[in-house]
Amino acid sequence: MKKRTIGSSNLLVSELGLGCMSLPTELEAARSVLDEAVDHGINYFDTADLYDKGTNEELIGKVLKEKRQDLIIATKAGNKWVSGEESWTWDPSKAHIMDAVKQSLRRLQLDYIDLYQLHGGTMEDDTDETIEAFETLKTEGVIREYGISSIRPTVIERFLSTSNAVSVMMQYNLLDRRPEEYFSMIAKKGASVVTRGTLAKGLLTNEGVERAKKLNGFVSYTPSELQQTIQVLSKETDNLHAYALAFALKEPVVASALIGSRTQEQLRESLNAYDTKIDPQLLSALTNKTERHQYEQHRV
């Protein structure tokens, strides 16, 4: 497994990272996936305090604590569960972040967090206060670096311009190429992209044709456009999975492509796809068969 550096930091992460939101909530089932990832060279694990109301962080803490020194653990804050309800509110205040990080450290059984991310963001936020919280935590050694998880270009640019953030998590894949418009800006700010949704809900795997039939479109693709596009891509290659990963990783600004896996088998499929040798000309051809949509809202 090759590694890349996140932005201007010293965080060296595997090209494939494990997006842990998909982990099962049962300990041994989660352990099988996490151990498989570590055994195959994945050192980057991404979670959030929002996932399963903190259970996701707890599972990662229980399984990975003995291997902690070899791993990069990332989590997120900014969303707060409403007591007694299945909903949450947005709270990017310094007070909340300073408290949330303590709770994440406890659940993860860590002394520090490698990458702490703002889990969203709006233009109405007091960004200075949020950044002050992250900078304080970094100075105190509670976190090593910080970043933002957002698909709002206005929020991303403001955050990068006024902070020392090193990463931006964005949905990016062959079917959602909207982030490409902002890659140069992100790179100039000294940050890297971490991709989520790398396989587009499984559309960019060998199950893509069937999955497309069940979805009411995807991003800016109508249902019919989506089905047609997936059919075209699938006719060009019998390993769309491999080309989907290669697509995300072909961009120098991308530090790691996150994959989500509920089982060892799903994880192995992605690992095998990652190890598959791809044809650069075919990758270019596949890319040309997809649309480069742009964000319609929250534009700079």
Which residues are marked as active site?
A: 51
Helix (H) or strand (E) holding 30: helix 27-39
Q: Which residues contact 299 (CB under 8 A, 6 or more apart)?
A: 153, 154
Q: Which residues contact 84 (CB under 8 A, 6 or more apart)?
A: none
* CA distance linking residue 198 with residue 196, whole number of Å: 5
The crossing angle, in degrees rounded to 10, of helices 223-236 and 280-288 is 160
* CA distance linking residue 289 with residue 146, whole number of Å: 35
Beta strand 88-90 pairing with 44-46: unpaired
* CA distance linking residue 143 with residue 159, whole number of Å: 18
- On the 0-12 / 13-18 / 19+ scale of CB atoms within 10 A, 176 is buried
Q: Are 66 and 96 in contact (CB under 8 A)?
A: no
* CA distance linking residue 192 with residue 147, whole number of Å: 9
* CA distance linking residue 138 with residue 220, whole number of Å: 38
Q: Which residues contact 278 (CB under 8 A, 6 or more apart)?
A: 242, 243, 246
Amino acid in the structure at residue 10: N
Beta strand 3-5 pairing with 12-14: antiparallel
Amino acid in the structure at residue 204: L
Helix (H) or strand (E) holding 227: helix 223-236
